A and B are shown apart, each in its own frame.
Chain A
């Protein structure tokens, strides 16, 4: 059965810390891996990774995919209280647009 597994499930850090969130997957017909941030409502898109070894960056956030070892990491440097959210990893299948999500990592950044 296809699955996406995130770790840790929850994390509490202080402002200024650097965090690394993990996502591993076992999916047939893999197309891309996506990261989303979910606060109260809609998941907001962060990154889409299709190729191995190419880091994507957006401000203090960065992510990379390893298609050989079947995992991805999301790094957040110099965390702020506004980074508190659930971070969702999802795998996009090769056709049809089907996304399956991991359980999410709940990040809490304390002042």
Chain B
């Protein structure tokens, strides 16, 4: 299995809702990532998990809460989002090389999020 899968494909939520995005990979990768991509812009890193521990948080607002329950799964919990948070949320994973995470990242298809 050489895929990163993400669910749901599309999500529409109100500003008071709580929802979660899910990401799964079965490639044995031990680093997983969340990116946010606005229209016509490149992906921007949000979080990095390395060996199931949060290693990088790019100053992301607390209304986004990541969770890595095990080495194959990565969640992003959403609460009290704003309309400007509407974007494509991409998950990625990479093969470990020691603890440097210095191998290529493979991306999932993304979740298209709309916040009303």
* A binding-site residues for B, Cβ under 8 Å: 31-32, 34, 36, 41-45, 48, 88, 90, 92, 94-104
Bound-complex Cα distance A43 to B44 (A): 13
* B binding-site residues for A, Cβ under 8 Å: 4, 31, 33, 41-45, 48, 50, 55-56, 88, 90, 94, 100-110
Bound-complex Cα distance A76 to B45 (A): 28
Contact A88 B42 (CB under 8 A): yes
Contact A34 B104 (CB under 8 A): yes
Residues in B with CB closer than 8 Å to A104 are: 42
| Number of A-B contacts defined by CB within 8 Å | 66
Question: A-side binding surface: helix, strand, loop or mixed?
Answer: strand
In the A-B complex, list the 6 residue pairs whose CB atoms are closest, starting with the nearest.
A97-B101, A101-B42, A42-B107, A41-B109, A42-B109, A48-B104
- Specify the chain B residue showing the minimal Cβ separation from A89: B42
- Specify the chain B residue showing the minimal Cβ separation from A97: B101
Contact A99 B50 (CB under 8 A): no
Query: A42 with B110: in contact, given A96-B48, A104-B42 (CB under 8 Å)?
Result: yes
Contact B107 A43 (CB under 8 A): yes
